[in-house]
Amino acid sequence: MSATIRLDLHVHSRYSVDSRLSFEQILEGITYQGLQGFALTDHNTTEGLAGLERLRPSYPGFWFVPGVEISTQEGHLLAYGLRESPPPNRPLAETVEQVEALGGVSVLAHPFRWLHGVGRRVASEARVQGIEGRNGKNSELANTKAELLAARRAIASTGGSDAHEPRQVGRAFTEFPGDVTSLDDLLEQIRKDKTTAAGSSLSLAGRVRSSVRDGLLRAVRGFRPVGPRAVHPDHF
């Protein structure tokens, strides 16, 4: 049995308005990076989970974690273990309560990102089980701040690529103990702060490229946002 299980806990498929990734491209990237699975975390929808489940028999031993990235009034929230998504654009505290009622766990997505992060004050107080300490599209500075905050709060630090295109898949990931055997076990490891965030941050050139791509996609979809614009003076 492997000493650790490595999963990319933040991946967007074509069911997100800002992604064109197919399941096949995601699986190819995860396999190439030597990971054992991923969480599908499309924006405000779990519509893609049914299609993903149909692939499960072809990938025995592979982890398909049900998830969603929810847009809240304060910023983005990752939720795992859900088969349905709470409604978007509600207060963060209310959304966290709904996730818990549905049996899932809540993790703050990229809290120190200028757009869509909750900011330091909210991240320091939110009643979540974890903080995304390693996001594959964040700067090293933003990731370091997130990891330090998770450590100070003694809650889980998770990692995910935040992939929207093939080259991003698997850049960041979460390590779980190798004896985890079920989704319930995996969620419990997050609740008990037994995870490790790992992987790469994004360089300045990479962030510029990503910003240009995101701008083009916003134009294509008529500048329709994926969630509320959450910019806070306490991000830094």
For the chain, helix (H) and strand (E) counts, in that order, are 7, 9
CA distance 37 to 22: 15
Residue for token pair 């390693």: 134
Q: 195 Cβ partners below 8 Å, 6+ apart?
A: 130, 156, 157, 158, 174, 175, 176, 189
The three-class DSSP label of residue 98 is helix
Tokens of 78: 């990752």
Q: 120 Cβ partners below 8 Å, 6+ apart?
A: 111, 112, 145, 149, 232, 234, 235, 236
Q: Give the pLDDT confidence score for residue 46 in this predicted structure.
A: 97
Domains in the chain and their CATH numbers? 4-220 (3.20.20.140)
Neighbours of 2 (CB within 10 A): 10
34 phi/psi in degrees, rounded to 5: 75, 25
pLDDT by residue for the chain (236 residues), tens digit each? 458 999 999 999 999 999 999 999 999 999 999 999 999 999 999 999 999 999 999 999 899 999 999 999 999 999 999 999 999 999 999 999 999 999 999 999 999 998 899 999 999 999 999 999 999 999 999 999 999 999 999 999 999 999 999 999 999 999 999 999 999 999 999 999 999 999 999 976 655 565 555 555 445 545 555 654 443 434 33
Q: Give the pLDDT confidence score for residue 90 in this predicted structure.
A: 98
Q: Give the pLDDT confidence score for residue 203 in this predicted structure.
A: 74
Q: Give the pLDDT confidence score for residue 204 in this predicted structure.
A: 63
- The answer to whether residues 35 and 26 touch, using CB atoms and an 8 Å cutoff, is no
Please report, for residues 73, 75, 108, 116, the alpha-carbon distance to residue 93 in angstroms, rounded to integers and kept in the order given: 10, 11, 12, 16
Q: Give the pLDDT confidence score for residue 114 in this predicted structure.
A: 86
CA distance 204 to 51: 35
The pTM assigned to this predicted structure is 0.88
